[in-house]
Homo-oligomer: A and B are copies of this chain.
């Protein structure tokens, strides 16, 4: 008789925290992820904007689970769940489980708009971040040698769709990459030809923040040369433009889509009931109704705090991971799962150098002070001591010399 096996699908913040929480439990843990690394997603936009390298924000899962004597890892893509036979189905193998934790996160959602799916670039994983970096740099190279002025305008125009934290951070990072770094690389560049546009359907950016911080963020974006278009809905996207609901056409050879996010396709593949944003319906205990040994945590979980769905944020995923680890430990000892309550530690977003907004309970910060706060929190949380040194070197280098070292168009040969 072996020990109960806990299979955790997804090695993000939720899955990894759950595995760590089961370190001393009398169970065997198997983490499954399609990538062999855990990703520190808050800095993904810095990979896309040529400041950081993958290894500075990602770490091999196998290295992270070395201190967990009861954990192992399988790199595989999840294709479904056989709830009756208690097996997780993958492209590599099917894996029996006694407890299953689904933590595969979220992905870009184009809301069924085929033109967005074809021409929009997402920013949800490392492969997308690198593709976006290659695209931005290639557009500049092409613009240098394009004689058609209309084509050149499109190549030098960048549209970010979605005014949430990802959109705001990406818009700020692109604008600074162009104005502070690339400008020096392209002597003939007329900076007035460059355009960075942030398109948001709501009447304000950063909807999760209080109005004063939203306004501070908008002003900061505009000071950094970004055109903020509010109340603007995207109708369609082409190779060289974005068409808005009102018929207006915005030239853009690069369209970054951060407006829509939904639970990962694994949710749909399980066949269980989904709620808003394709997230899996769960009980207050984060169990799937009717499947007491199956839990869902993180962005994929359609968990509610009683009034609204919990946001897709790292603290939610980590707290849920810890909570479910405790529930499983209790269940193994013949106890039961307990209700999950989310404790909000606050939210923050940066708009680029010297500027960020932070909302921590009653404490609201913006500008330089908010930025120092943002720097500290992210540097402390980045995933290893080595990355902390290297990230700090790169940040300081960029801050002092206005230089981004990773302006390389690179792709692994297929």
> Does A190 sit within 8 A of B, measured CB to CB?
no
In-complex Cβ contact of A386 among B131, B144, B405 (8 A): B405
- Can you tell how many copies of this chain the complex includes? 2
Instruction: Say yes or no: A66 contacts B131, CB within 8 Å.
Output: no
Within 8 Å CB of A333, what residues of B?
Answer: none
Q: In the docked arrangement, what's the CA distance between A182 and B75, Å? A: 15
Instruction: Say yes or no: B387 contacts A390, CB within 8 Å.
Output: no
> Does A151 sit within 8 A of B, measured CB to CB?
no
- The CB with the most chain B CB atoms within 10 A, among A56, A66, A185, A410, is that of A410
Given contacts A36-B407, A92-B145, contact A60 B412 (CB under 8 A): no
In-complex Cβ contact of A409 among B35, B74, B92 (8 A): B35
Instruction: Say yes or no: A36 contacts B141, CB within 8 Å.
Output: yes
The segment from A14-22, A122-130, A216-224, A275-283 that touches chain B is A122-130
Q: Mask for A34-72, Cβ within 8 A of B = 1, else 0?
A: 011100000000000000011110111011001000001
Within 8 Å CB of A76, what residues of B?
Answer: 145
Within 8 Å CB of A386, what residues of B?
Answer: 393-394, 397, 403, 405
CB distance from A384 to the nearest CB of B (A): 8
> Does A77 sit within 8 A of B, measured CB to CB?
no
Q: Mask for A371-414, Cβ within 8 A of B = 1, else 0?
A: 00000000000001011011001100100000101111111111
**Chain B residue at minimal CB-CB distance from A58:** B408
CB distance from A343 to the nearest CB of B (A): 32
27 of the cross-chain contacts (CB-CB < 8 Å) are A36-B409, A37-B408, A53-B53, A55-B406, A59-B405, A63-B403, A66-B184, A66-B185, A72-B187, A74-B145, A75-B141, A75-B409, A76-B145, A93-B145, A127-B412, A128-B413, A130-B410, A131-B413, A386-B403, A386-B405, A389-B393, A390-B394, A393-B393, A411-B412, A411-B414, A412-B412, A414-B414
Q: Which residues of A contact B (CB under 8 A)?
A: 35-37, 53-56, 58-60, 62-63, 66, 72, 74-76, 92-93, 126-128, 130-131, 133-134, 137, 141, 144-145, 184-187, 384, 386-387, 389-390, 393-394, 397, 403, 405-414
